[in-house]
Structure 1
Amino acid sequence: MTGRSRLFPCLRYRNPKAAIDFLVSAFGFTVHAVHEAPEGGIAHAEIRLGNDIVMIGALDAEAVAAGRTVSGGVASIYACIPYVDGHHDKAAAAGAVITRPPEDTAYGSREYSCRDLEGYEWHFGSYDPLAEEEA
């Protein structure tokens, strides 16, 4: 452990396989690990964007019964990326629903927002909250 916390967002999808395919083609993730369920399908998967990982699981009857469902849109994910406009173009071409086109913010970031194939909200921008610490 490096002494700092590490966060790994976990998202549940009705169709995890389709979600992984979309996140790879639209947002540039790469597949890190896929663990199949005994009955087929995906039990757990991990996708990478640079050094960061998002965990993917199935939104199934068990998850819904346990209350592990999408939070009604109050949660979203922000990813720091170097080429915002090109990333936006690739995401839009792959079918991401653009909710905020690329724009420059008052705090010096270039950002855009979109929703994936199951409605999760994603924000991509050049702002890196840890850049000064790591410099």
Structure 2
Amino acid sequence: MLIPATRYRDCEAALAFLTGVLGLREHAVHRDEAGQIVHAQIALGSGLMMFGPPGDGEFDALLVAPGMVGAVTTSIYAVVADVAARHDRALAAGAEIVMPLAAQPYGGSSFSLRDPEGHVWTLGDYDPMAVT
């Protein structure tokens, strides 16, 4: 199993965007005594992604926020059955679509967007794990 992890400056806004706009499911959210998110997990099917706020630990020194350089080194691909509906929901929410919904030469359709902090997500109905 692979579980990507990243950092968000505003974890509450990220959680709202990822669950509300992209339609992912809140799996676990851990908060400190002040109620601030210290670690969150979102799910889509059996897949997970973890995130939390930036810190000053050893791991955080290895990460660069997308806004600092204008690009990302890793993106997330989410397999969804209702890609057109999720595209429409993202558009309606004002998300920055960086690659429009289109059929792909390897199968299925997909679109890519930036989340509010610049991470690039691609949602598509091509499932590379499906048996053909």
- For Structure 1 versus Structure 2, the TM-score category normalised by the shorter chain is 0.7 to 0.9
**Matching residue of 1:127:** 126
Matches of 2:60 and 2:22, distance apart in 1: 31
Establish whether residue 92 from structure 1 lines up as the match of residue 87 from structure 2.
no
Q: Would the alpha carbon gap of residues 65 and 98 (structure 1) be closer, same or farther in structure 2, given more than 3 Å must change?
A: closer
**Matching residue of 2:104:** 105
Which aligned segments of 4 or more residues in structure 1 are displaced greater than 3 angstroms?
60-65
What SS does the corresponding residue of 2:62 show, helix, strand or coil?
coil
Unpaired segments ≥5 residues, structure 2: none
Partner amino acid, structure 2, of 1:83: D
**Matching residue of 1:51:** 46
Give the structure-2-normalised TM-score.
0.86
**Matching residue of 2:4:** 9
Partner amino acid, structure 1, of 2:89: K
The correspondence for 1:32, drawn from 15, 24, 27, is: 27
Q: Would the alpha carbon gap of residues 36 and 121 (structure 1) be closer, same or farther in structure 2, given more than 3 Å must change?
A: same
Unpaired segments ≥5 residues, structure 1: 1-5
* CA-to-aligned-CA distance 1:96-115 (integer Å, 9 cap, x gap): 21011110111122111100
Establish whether residue 75 from structure 1 lines up as the match of residue 95 from structure 2.
no
Matches of 2:54 and 2:107, distance apart in 1: 37
Deviation at 1:61, TM superposition (A): 4.6
Alpha-carbon RMSD across the aligned residues, in angstroms, is 2.0
**Matching residue of 1:22:** 17
**Matching residue of 1:3:** none
Matches of 1:24 and 1:129, distance apart in 2: 23
* CA-to-aligned-CA distance 1:41-97 (integer Å, 9 cap, x gap): 111011111221111111235578623333641211111111111110111222321
Instruction: State the percentage of identical aligned residues.
Output: 40
Partner amino acid, structure 2, of 1:118: E
Matches of 1:82 and 1:65, distance apart in 2: 34
Decide whether the 8 Å contact of 1:11 with 1:55 is kept in 2. Answer: yes
Matches of 1:103 and 1:90, distance apart in 2: 16
**Matching residue of 2:116:** 117
